[in-house]
Chains A and B, each alone.
Chain A
Amino acid sequence: EPEVTQTPSHQVTQMGQEVILRCVPISNHLYFYWYRQILGQKVEFLVSFYNNEISEKSEIFDDQFSVERPDGSNFTLKIRSTKLEDSAMYFCASSHHPYNQPQHFGDGTRLSIL
């Protein structure tokens, strides 16, 4: 069964450094998402992306965050200047259609900011 893959599985970064999290969505999916989960808390929506544009974003997704689809297979989340509170699990998801269609998640990247 096709799956969403994320790399790396664990990223340790110094505060203030830039970090890029990578995702390969399911190949025939057109809609891509990032969510995060701070330890012990609920999964929170960050951003959705379609046709090379952000289609929706949450208040968490401020100017330090950006997303990109640099080629036909990868989808990336960049955090420009990391803060301690950015430490979390970051999940990528994809779906074939938006709006009430199943979103399939990767296994996440654990981001630890020191």
Chain B
Amino acid sequence: GENVEQHPSTLSVQEGDSAVIKCTYSDSASNYFPWYKQELGKGPQLIIDIRSNVGEKKDQRIAVTLNKTAKHFSLHITETQPEDSAVYFCAASDGNEKLTFGTGTRLTIIP
């Protein structure tokens, strides 16, 4: 089955700097890659997703890139703000209904 690795497990950046979180996946059949943000006491909130026919997708300060050959995808957050502090999860789907999640990255924005 699919296995998703996520790095780093923790990340601290100065407010205003950029943050990058990386994930790799094992199943070359995977073709859908969402990113979720989880704040304390809340469920995962979808922030951006990308499908395998696209190499990059951007939504304001958030972007995701996908390299199908290398089987990795990354989340980029620019001009970070204190409210970006949360745990971020990547996930992958091989066209079935289930999402396979990474282990999460705790992002802390230092004011």
Contacts and interface: CB of A to CB of B under 8 A. Distances in A.
A58 B93 CA distance: 14
A42 B103 CA distance: 5
A43 B96 contact: no
Interface residues of B, number: 25
Interface residues of A, number: 26
Interface of B: 31-32, 34, 36, 41-46, 49, 51, 89, 91, 93, 95-104
A77 to B, nearest CB: 15
A80 to B, nearest CB: 23
A104 B47 CA distance: 10
A105 interface: yes
B3 to A, nearest CB: 11
Contacts of B104: 42
